[in-house]
Structure 1
Amino acid sequence: MGDHKDQGINIDPAFVRALAELLDDTQLSEIEVEDGDRKVRVARTLTAAAAAPVAFAPAAPAAAPLAPPAPAAAPPPAADSFADAVKSPMVGTVYLAPEPGAPTFASVGSSVKEGDTVLIIEAMKVMNPITAPTSGTLKAVHVENSQPVEFDQPLFTIG
């Protein structure tokens, strides 16, 4: 049988068949192989019948009595410690120092003045200083250096 010529590219049907078999063996939907300026892509369309079956849990009988709700557990005390915390205004990465190896902007127990930078959050390659909203003592830092943070996540507490 040999190689076939199609628009200037040599195609080896046995190689294409081997790629198709690899798709079946691995349950992949497509595979692409590149060799220099030659590129071969084999893809298949998955049908609903080929998708993995989905199992559903049986519904509870309608006449089954509902159990009384368990008493609510007391909220963990740590959650209360964030009530006065300064929270992140953005998603990003926290840095407690101006650059690697430099001392931190502020440490727990140190006094800070309103407007002092306590940490920075890098978001989209921009360094955003997070400043103390009031003067006082830095009571706690709730994040670690180089930690990713989410919007509204507690950062630090000043007392």
Structure 2
Amino acid sequence: MSMDIKQIQDLIKFVAKSGVNEVAIEEKDFKITIKTNQEPTYVTASIPAAAPVIPQQAAVSAPIAAPTPTVDTATAKSADDSSKYIAIKSPMIGTFYRSASPDKPSYVNVGDEVKPGQVVCIVEAMKLFNEIETEISGKIVKVLVDNAQPVEYDQPLFLVDPS
């Protein structure tokens, strides 16, 4: 795999808009890592010396705007009074979906009872739709993410009352 500068620029724009912190692509003769969690943000691409490319151009660095972090005040306020609840967290970075498709009902809603192994949502990452199953049983008390919103690894998605 080799990428031209236009593809790299498109990837940088996509990563900046998606809200993910880091994307790394590594092939036999090509490696690119894009990080957006520091300021200024840099993109580095390195190609091993054995690869048939232009010599003396091993790395490309380009500053891009870092996404502005957003603070969900509702989640912050409810953190202290929700200590008895258990969070179902995202196992990956991607886009959160409450249902299999826009015309289907949500997998779970507030008030629903869940049990281990039950699908509660989908997290789409790089066009792969991953069904997320709960490992706990209890009642859904809060959905913490809006449908079609980007989520981070280990980000709480649902609060469950285990009692």
Q: Please, what TM-score do these two structures have when normalized by structure 2?
A: 0.48
Of the two, which has the highest radius of gyration? 1
Q: Please, what TM-score do these two structures have when normalized by structure 1?
A: 0.49
